[in-house]
Amino acid sequence: MRKIIVLFILIGPVLLFAQSATYISLEQCLKATAQNFPLSNQKILISAANELNQQVIQTGFLPQLVLNGQVSYQSDVTSLPITLPNVSIPQTSKDWYKLNVDISQLIYDGGALKTQQKLASSDANIEIQSVEIELYKIKEIVQTSFFNTILLNENKKTILLLQTELKEKLKNIESGIRNGLILLMNSDNLLAELIKIEQNIYELELGIESAISNLNILTGLQLSSDNTFILPPQSTPLNTQNTRPELGLFDLQVSKLNLLKDMTAIKRKPIVMGFGQAGYGRPALNMLSNDFEPYFMVGAKLSWKVFDWGNNKKEKKSLDLKSQIISKNKETFNKQLDILLTKKMTEIKRLENFLIKDEQIVNLKTKIAKAVSSQFENGQITATDYLLEKNAETKAMLNFQLHQVQLRHAQIDYEYTLGNLNN
């Protein structure tokens, strides 16, 4: 029951303005960051570039047409080394003219073009995953700014409550001062404390403004101090599934190496091409004719690299070594992550314990402050004594707020470390 009362004191001012305030959640900020941060556009550009690359590679399956033209003059031409009486043997001119179209069509390439398409997609996926990793790092800054905003706002609410109470207390003792029942220095002490409170409020407002400004830059939203930033609901138990984007990158890198191994094997397979040529020129295919004539020819050709000095095996072995390096990097990353998660879980347990003690301290300090408040109004103690206990109560409440926000932040950070903030 006491805990409910304390929480009501902390969030009471929020309820008063709930009708006009716009609630902002961490999930909203993370989603806005994923959509509006400049890095997000890179994924669209990478996908568009990959689509174009796929179309370029696809043209390798289509017939290839090349137009060739040639004009030349040579010092000698082929001729028959014989002479016959009364027979004129034709001789090719030394100036040659040719215009032809070469056509080639891939018949079989062992799957090289399809593997190239897969490699292009693999490169694009790796680039997109790298962008996801960078975006995920930005989300850590977003959550830190978000929780800082909540903490500073909660501190400001508590300080405002203290300010209101001290102002009321100052009004109550004014008659006692006029009647000489209470010393003037008690009023001066309260005024000095109110000035210090004004300084604290100003400092908190600057901090809130700075944190919200950071959120606006990161999310692209138009947030202000009029918004109400709400703590994310706690998931029980915590999500412990590891979905870090770095793990996806490791898997994509291994997948690319497997495709490169496939491409290495394809290099040893034969390539069969169909070809044709059609043209017009002098001389044509008949080298003894000196007339401009059309010509054509069609056929097929085979290309097969039978021996490569063991380069194929060496390339595969090199790719296997690179795959092992990636596996070791992934294993190292997971171990470092386990160490970090253990540390963060320890912090969560520490804060949970602190909150139990904080609640007890707040209850006790509230009792004491209530008692000294009555004593102060009756002139039994000085303003210094009253402020000492009142500030102790405020400090206890601020610690309670601090640990509340820190605990939820620690829980969110634990899930962030596991990669579970990927909206």
Q: What is the pLDDT of residues 81-94, one digit of tens each?
A: 777 677 676 777 88
Q: What is the pLDDT of residues 167-214, one digit of tens each?
A: 887 776 666 555 554 555 667 788 888 999 999 999 999 999 999 999
> Mean pLDDT across the stretch 271-283?
93
Determine contact, residues 259/119, Cβ cutoff 8 Å. Answer: yes
Instruction: Kindly indicate the confidence band of residue 2, based on its pLDDT and cuts at 50, 70 and 90.
Output: very low
CA-CA-CA-CA torsion sign (26, 32, 35, 38): negative
Q: Is the pLDDT of residue 105 over 90?
A: yes
**Class of residue 300 by CB neighbours under 10 A (exposed 0-12, middle 13-18, buried 19+):** exposed
Cα distances (angstroms) measured from residue 250 to each of 42, 125, 244, 262, 325: 20, 12, 11, 19, 10
Q: Is the pLDDT of residue 121 over 80?
A: yes
Give the model's pLDDT for residue 389: 87
Q: What is the pLDDT of residues 208-239, one digit of tens each?
A: 999 999 999 999 999 999 999 998 887 666 77
Give the model's pLDDT for residue 217: 93
Query: Any idea which of 156-170, 195-209, 310-324, 341-355 has the lowest mean pLDDT?
Result: 156-170
State the DSSP code for 21.
Answer: P
Give the model's pLDDT for residue 337: 93
- Residue located via tokens 């390339």: 315
> Mean pLDDT across the stretch 375-384?
78
Determine contact, residues 420/241, Cβ cutoff 8 Å. Answer: yes
Percentage of the chain modeled with pLDDT above 70: 89
Chain-centroid distance of CA 146 in Å reads 17
Record the pTM: 0.78
Q: What is the pLDDT of residues 392-418, one digit of tens each?
A: 898 899 899 889 989 999 999 998 999
Angle of helix 112-178 relative to helix 26-36, nearest 10 degrees, comes to 140
Q: Identify which of 378, 352, 414 has the alpha carbon closest to the alpha carbon of residue 143.
A: 414
Give the model's pLDDT for residue 168: 80
- Which amino acid, residue 102? D
Give the chain's mean pLDDT: 86
Q: What is the pLDDT of residues 130-154, one digit of tens each?
A: 999 999 999 999 999 999 999 999 8
Q: Is the pLDDT of residue 18 over 50?
A: no
Q: Identify which of 283, 297, 331 has the alpha carbon closest to the alpha carbon of residue 94.
A: 283
